[in-house]
Chain A
C-alpha cells in the first residue's frame, strides 16, 4: 500500500487481487446482492485510490503490521461505503417494508426444502435473520481473521468490547440456528 501511496498505482492491482474476494464476501454476506456487492467493492477501491495519501502505518513499522493495518483501513472504508449506501437510499428499510411478502415466500420455500439442505444452508439462513450490526461484527471477525484488536480499530472500540460483541452475536446466531433446526 505504501507503494500505491507513492503513486505506483500498478501495485493497487495486487491489492485488488488479494482482497477482492474477502471484500466481496463481506458485502455479499451483508446484502445477498451480487451486483450491489461488486459495486461496493469497486467503490471501496475507488476510495482507497482517492484517499491513498491518508493511509498511515502504525508506529511499530513491521511488515506484518503493514499488511494488517492496510486490511484494517480497507475494512474501515468498506464499512463506510456500505453504511453510506444504505443511509442514502434507505434500501434496508425499503426492503424490510416492501419486500416482506417476497421474503416470506422465499423463506417458506426455503423451509420446505430444508430437509434436503445441508448445515451451511441452515447457517446461512440463520445469518440472514441476525440483526445487521451482529452480522457485520461476525463478518469482520471472519475476514479480519479473528484479529479483535484490528476489528476494534475499525469499529472504534476496545479489543475486549469486540470479543463481547462477537460472543453475543454468536450466542444469538446459535439460538436462531437451533430454532431453525427444530423446524426441520
Chain B
C-alpha cells in the first residue's frame, strides 16, 4: 500500500482513501473545433506509460475529495513529490539525474 500525503488535509493517509485519475498536465485544446482528428485523438486517448518518473492526478476520494498532483517512480513506486493543481513539478525526468549526480536530495 502507498502512504500518500494529501496537501489539502496536510497529512499522510493510506492509499485506499485515494483514487488515481491518470496522467496529469493534459491541457484541453483551446479551440477543439480547429483540431485535426489526430490532435483530438492524441488529447482524448493517448497517454504516457513511462518506465520511471510519472506525473499523475490523484483525488482524496474518501477524505477531502480534492484533486492534487503527484510524481511517482513507476519502477520503485517511490513518491517523489506531491504538489497542487496548477503548479508545475519540480522533480522531472532530467532533474533527478542531475541532483543525484551533484549529491543533492531530490
* Pairing of A with B: no
